[in-house]
Amino acid sequence: MLKRYRAGTAIIELVQGDITEQDTDAIVNAANRTLLGGGGVDGAIHRAGGPAILEECRKLGGCETGDAKITTGGALKARHVIHAVGPVYSGRPRDAELLASAYRRSLEVAVENGLKTVAFPSISTGAYGYPVREAAPVALSAVRDFLLAGAPVSLVRFVLFDPATFRAYEEAAGRIFGPPEEP
């Protein structure tokens, strides 16, 4: 399952799958403020990437909510992992600001490191409880706005783990971008 949209000269893709298998320049981790690992996609990335990632994370001194920091990709196909911290859902307007910031900061860190292709999971919609129907338009709009501002990133791929999450992003993308490009 692959849906493709355009934002300026960049491509935004939605796929259902496992982010640890992506061959983009960077994959983004939905981390917590300690950056010392956890469950969900964080656990999967550290398992697949091996101990080198955690060793680097220990030196980063944590990360604020809405911010992102980079390490190498260890044994992953992706050469880099960008560890982003989304908000724990509270139902307040600030949630959307912090979630958008986590996406934007991840892309800024990618650009600072010369990276052109980035894969994201659905940040905050697992353990952090952000309803995916609310999170998807925030995530897609934040990425679109960043790309439309002329950032030198050619591909942003959302790698969505389960069918319900994929559908929520597909519906939001239809509202934001219109119909997907023909395959």
End-to-end CA distance of the chain: 11
- H runs (alpha helix) in the chain: 40-49, 51-58, 94-112, 132-148, 163-177
Kindly tell me which residue out of 1, 8, 9, 18 binds ligand AR6, with binding defined by CB under 6 A.
18
Residue 139 touching ligand AR6 (CB under 6 A): no
Kindly tell me which residue out of 10, 12, 14, 19 binds ligand AR6, with binding defined by CB under 6 A.
19
Active site residue 145: no
- What is the nearest approach in angstroms of ligand AR6 to the Cβ of residue 21? 8
- Where does this chain touch ligand AR6 (CB under 6 A) — which range of 53-61, 75-83, 144-152, 161-169? 161-169
Residue 62 touching ligand AR6 (CB under 6 A): no
Radius of gyration of the chain from its Cα atoms, rounded to whole angstroms? 15
**Residue (123 or 151) nearer to ligand AR6, CB:** 123
Tokens of 167: 């559908």
Residue 16 touching ligand AR6 (CB under 6 A): no
Kindly tell me which residue out of 4, 6, 11, 44 binds ligand AR6, with binding defined by CB under 6 A.
44
Strand partners, 46: none
- What is the nearest approach in angstroms of ligand AR6 to the Cβ of residue 22? 9
Tell me whether residue 154 is exposed, middle or buried, using C-beta atoms within 10 angstroms of its C-beta: 0 to 12, 13 to 18, 19 or more: middle
Residues 15, 29: Cα–Cα separation, whole Å? 16
**Are the C-beta atoms of residues 63 and 10 closer than 8 Å to each other?**
no
Kindly tell me which residue out of 67, 86, 118, 140 binds ligand AR6, with binding defined by CB under 6 A.
86
Strand partners, 69: 83
Give the footprint of ligand AR6 on this chain (CB under 6 A): 18-20, 30-32, 38-42, 44, 86, 121-128, 159, 161-162, 165
- The residues assigned a catalytic role are 42
